[in-house]
Structures are given as C-alpha cells and as structure tokens.
Amino acid sequence: MLQAAHEIAQILSEDGVSYDADVLEHHGHSDWSTSNSPGRAVAVVYPRSTEDVSAIARICSRLRVPMVPFGAGSSVEGNFSQPHSGICIDLSFMDRILAFHPDDMDVVVQPGVNWVDLNTHIAPSGLFAPMDPSPTATIGGMVSTNCSGTNAFRYGTMKDWVLNLTVVLADGTVIKTRRRPRKTSAGYNLTSLFVGAEGTLGIVTEATLKLAPIPQATSVAVVPFPSIHAAATTATALIRSGIPLAALEIMDERQMAILNTHGSPAVRKRHWAEQPTLFLKFSGTPDAVAADIARISTLVSDLTNNTAPFHFARTPQEEIDLWAARKESLFTMTSMRPDGYEMWSTDVAVPVSRLAEIIDWSRQECGQLGIFASVIGHVGDGNFHVAMMYDPRDAEQTERVGKAVKGMMDKALEMEGTVSGEHAIGIGKKGCLREELGEETIGMMRAVKRAVDPRWVMNPGKVFDWQ
Ligand SMILES: Cc1cc2nc3c(=O)[nH]c(=O)nc-3n(C[C@H](O)[C@H](O)[C@H](O)COP(=O)(O)OP(=O)(O)OC[C@H]3O[C@@H](n4cnc5c(N)ncnc54)[C@H](O)[C@@H]3O)c2cc1C
C-alpha cells in the first residue's frame, strides 16, 4: 500500500498525498455515523483530473491496493470507511463546474462540487439542482449514495437527475455512460448502475446533471398534532390527496422540544409547540401556491376536526427560519449529545399506507429503551429516521439499541419496505440488504462487481462481501 502511495506521489503535485495522522483520521471516521471501522487508509491522495484518477487506479489495481473514494465524508453508514485500509481518494480538489447549459437545463461538474455552492452559482439563471442532503455533501458522494433529502417528495431522488457520468474503472479505463440528451433508449442504463454503487464499481470523475426551474413562489407551514399517529395518518392522507406539495416532513415532540432549547438563534425566534409536527413546503406559481395552501388547510381541518392549528410563514425570512428548524435538526440533536455518547440513526422507507403503523411501532419499541429516541423524516415518500442517543461504553445499552434498530429493519421488510431509504448500505447494513433482496439478487450484483473489478479493489467491504 505504501508502495502505491509513493508511486502516486510521483504523478500528483507536491500536496497531492498526505500521510498525516489527523488527515487519515478525518478521512476514516465519522461522528455522524454509527457504522465505523477501525481500519484507516495508509494515505489520502488528492487528484485534480480524470487523468490523475485513472493513473491512481492503474497503480492501485496493479498492486492490488484498495481504493476508497471520498467526497465530503457526510455519509452515515460507514460508506467511506476503510476496513481493508488502502488509499483514500479525496476528490475535493476536483471542484470545477465544467460546462453550464442553461438552455438545455443541465450542468457538467466535477465530483468535488458542493451542491449548495453549485446552486448559489447558477441561481441567476433561474435553475437549481434539487437534491438536498447534508449541506456539506459533494456531487460525487451524492451520486454514489443515490441521496435525496426533503425535496425528494416533489423531485425524486438523485438517480432522476443524472444524465451521464464519466467513470474511472478499477483498472484505470475511463468510460462515459451516455451522452447529454434528456432521454435515450440506447443500450444498457450504465448511468444508473453507478448511481448508488458507493464507489464499489468505479470512481465518478464527471457528472452531467439535469436542472429544474427555481419555483416562482414558495411557502412553508407547520402543523402540530396531538399524537405522532395523528400526524403520520394525516401525512398519508395528504400524499393520497394529490395536492402537489413540495415537501412533507415530520418531527416528533422530542425533536420539537430540542428546537426550543438548542435550536439556532433563527430557529429560536419563536416558541415551538412541543408536539409531533408536520412541516409542509409549497411551491409553484403564486396562484398555484395560494390555491394549494387553501386546499391543504381545508383538508387538514376536515381530517382533524379543526384540532391541528396551521402556522404559515408570513414573510420570506420566516419561511427560511421555519424550514431551518427541520434542516438543522440533526446538527441540533448532535449539539446536545453528552460527552462520549453516540447517535444511532436508522433510515427505513415503507409503502406510504404503512407509514403511521411503522412509526407507531418504532416509537413504542424505542420508548422501552429508556434513552433519548426520536422520530424525524421525509414522510412524504414513506421515509423516516429514528435517532437514538446511547452510551457505547455501556455494552448492554448498546446491544439493546442495536436490537431495536434491527427490529425496525425487520418490520420495514415485513411491510415490503427497504432498510435504506437514502443513506445507502456502507458497512452498516450489509446483512439487512441480504435479507431485503435475497441471495440471488446479491449474487447478480456480485457478478457485476466481479466483471468490472475482478481484483475487488474498489471500496472493498461495502454493500456486500466477496462471498
Ligand atoms: C447533517 C446531515 C444531514 C443529512 N441529510 C441527508 C438527507 O436528507 N438525505 C440524504 O440522502 N442523505 C443525507 N445525509 C447523508 C449524506 O449527506 C449523503 O449520503 C451524501 O450523499 C454524501 O455525500 P458526500 O459528498 O459527503 O459523500 P461521502 O460521504 O464522502 O461518500 C459517500 C460514498 O460515496 C463514495 N464516493 C464519494 N465520492 C465518490 C466518487 N467521486 N466516485 C465514486 N464514489 C464516490 C464514497 O466512497 C462513499 O461510499 C445527511 C448527512 C448529514 C451529516
């Protein structure tokens, strides 16, 4: 592995390879993630072009050294950890917007581009890239986890926004999955093969992304409910109503209470009802937004016998502040974590008709643990997270939390759901993936992996194992 690092140092510029212990630690461990590995890369390397990445891959492949791509490190299932050590390939210097085609509504970017920066840069054109995971995330990581976020209810997930990819394969070969038109039926859909592959099939060095028009008007509303069941049932009815919401999110009463004590100054401008709450976002033309708000208010009043008071943002600033309460929730929770404690966060999705049932069930299971546990999530597409704070030094508590998480996965599968709505598999959910898809399907994935990476050097130990 060191031999590979030394050879890579000869092709990259001077600051292209780091052996610094802090750098290795930062690239090998995540405070956000429950799934970490004790392994660390021997070096972190910083390519600046597709050619650099290709040369790195040729060296690592020849020397049979694991290659682990790294974007911003915000993934939460140990996706970029290095259980087999190797070379960590940090793509953050590949952060250029290569071509912007506003008339075609697409943009060609390098993988290290951050999605918030991209949207700021192209905002004057009236276009944006809709996926919104961690504000730190990069396009390469977002493609490779098939991420989504609060906008997925309206816009789908990352897979729906990738037109083509340039990918460096394990042996250094560079491929482009397709060209730039919005549609094609030419050949296998290789683009989708790499979306969500977590760097196990190749390294994305360029992506062409579709863009959406920035809505002319938006609005945000929050609605507290007497129970989580009432909130989840109403969410299901809103989804079925067909009224075009831009986003539909849920936070339980524990999350809401934290906003009052630990929220950012913007969020603490108001006192939040400490009740399970739905966050609704509307977008479209001004007339359409006004009509949607009126229809949703009537529907919620009817469903709840007027017991769930709406609060609508009155100004654009209040709209930003209300939505910040939802977007900052993970940061807010982390800020109140006692020293030495860790957060275990699940990510399951079920068919929407089963949403209220699984949220209720999860709340009951977690309630028995006697620890901080709270429900939050993108209920609009049947996806939610339960975040639990536990003390990893307490073996019994850790085991009980692990069992509760496993129970939620099993329950989601029983309901024909998935063990990963948006955080991918990493090292944390390999066993659950097998249960979700079965040996034959994993066998097909393994066959694809072996065909493109016969030496098993691309991010080994993730998604599924060699055998
Ligand atoms: C506060 C917070 C909020 C979040 N909210 C959401 C959310 O709402 N929705 C959501 O989906 N996720 C969310 N996430 C998770 C995370 O932001 C996403 O998984 C994101 O897509 C990861 O991007 P990244 O650049 O940090 O990738 P990394 O974590 O660096 O990498 C992710 C995976 O992609 C691989 N990879 C990275 N770059 C490349 C490349 N160029 N080629 C091939 N493989 C590559 C890595 O090896 C790894 O397997 C959240 C995380 C945090 C911390």
Residue 367: per-residue pLDDT: 87
What's the pLDDT score for residue 310?
87
For the segment 146-150, the average pLDDT, to the nearest whole number, is 96
- CATH number 3.30.70.2190 is the correct assignment for the domain at 217-332: yes
Phi, psi values for residue 458, rounded to 5°: -85, 110
71 in ligand 1 pocket by Cβ < 6 Å? yes
Residue from 144, 148, 249, 331 whose mutation best tests the ligand 1 pocket (most atoms within 8 A of CB)? 144
Q: Where are the alpha helices (DSSP H) in 185-315?
A: 190-194, 228-241, 253-262, 286-304
Q: In this structure, which residue's CA is closest to atom 1 in ligand 1?
A: 134
Q: What is the pLDDT of residue 336?
A: 87
Angle at Cα 254 formed by Cα 253 and Cα 256, nearest 5°? 65
How far does the centroid of ligand 1 lie from the alpha carbon of residue 400, in Å? 28
Say whether pLDDT at 14 is over 80.
no
DSSP element (H, E) containing 206:
strand 203-210
- E strands of 10-52, at which residues? 17-18, 43-45
Fold agreement (2-92, 337-436): no
Residue 345, pLDDT score: 86
CA distance linking residue 207 with residue 189, whole number of Å: 15
Confidence of residue 31 (pLDDT cuts 50, 70, 90): confident
The span from the CA of 423 to the CA of 462, in Å, is 13
Residue 204 CB–ligand 1 contact under 6 Å: yes
Task: Detail the DSSP E strand segments found in 29-66.
Answer: 43-45
Pick the CATH number of 2-92 from 3.40.1440.60, 3.30.43.10, 3.30.565.10, 2.40.160.10: 3.30.43.10
Task: Give the C-alpha separation, 56 to 309, whole Å.
Answer: 58
Q: What is the pLDDT of residue 335?
A: 84
Residue 267 · residue 251 · CB < 8 Å: no
What is the residue with the minimal CA distance to atom 39 of ligand 1?
Answer: 140
pLDDT in tens, 358-369: 999 998 998 888
Say yes or no: domain 97-213 is CATH 3.40.140.10: no
The proportion of the chain whose per-residue pLDDT surpasses 90, expressed as a percent, equals: 89
Q: Which of 232, 206, 218, 200 is nearest to 51 (CA)?
A: 206
pLDDT for the residue 332 = 87
| Helical (H) or strand (E) element with 254 | helix 253-262
The model's pLDDT over 62-92, given as tens digits with 9 standing for 90+, comes to 999 999 999 999 999 999 999 999 999 999 9
Binned at pLDDT 50, 70 and 90, residue 33 comes out as: confident
Instruction: Name the amino acid, one letter, at 125.
Output: S
Nearest to 251 by CA among 195, 187, 302, 323: 323
Whole-angstrom distance, CA of residue 267 vs CA of residue 109: 33
Tell me the Cα Rg of the chain.
22
pLDDT of the residue at 226: 92
pLDDT bucket at 322, cuts 50 / 70 / 90: very high
Q: What is the dihedral of CA 91, 94, 97, 99, to 10 degrees?
A: -110
Q: Specify the fold of 337-436.
A: Alpha-Beta Plaits (3.30.70)
Three-state secondary structure call for residue 64: coil
Q: 425 CA distance to ligand 1 centroid (A)? A: 11
Instruction: Assign 467 a pLDDT band (cuts: 50, 70, 90).
Output: confident
Angle at 161 between CA 157 and CA 165, to 5 degrees: 120
Q: C-alpha angle with apex 362: 149 to 340, nearest 5 degrees?
A: 75
Verify whether ligand 1 is closer than 6 Å to residue 198 (CB atom): yes
Residue 341: predicted pLDDT: 92
**399-451, pLDDT tens digit by residue?**
999 999 999 999 999 999 999 999 999 998 999 999 999 999 999 999 999 99
CA-angle at 95, arms to 103 and 139, nearest 5°: 70
Q: Token pair for residue 220?
A: 């945000």
Q: How far is the CA of 92 from the centre of ligand 1 (A)?
A: 13
Q: What is the 297 CA–ligand 1 centroid distance (Å)?
A: 36
The mean pLDDT value for 287-316 works out to: 91
CB 382 less than 6 A from any atom of ligand 1: no
Average pLDDT over residues 200-222: 97
Q: Which residues pair with 317 in a beta bridge?
A: none
Task: Please report, for the chain, the start and end positions of each structural domain, with discontinuous segments joined by +.
Answer: 2-92, 97-213, 217-332, 337-436
Find the range with the poorest average confidence among 52-56, 79-83, 192-196, 362-366.
362-366
Query: For the chain, what percent of residues have pLDDT higher than 70?
Result: 100
Determine the Cα–Cα distance for residues 435 and 442; give it in Å rounded to an integer. Answer: 10
78 Cβ contact partners less than 8 Å away, ≥ 6 residues apart: 30, 33, 35, 36, 37, 426, 427, 428, 462
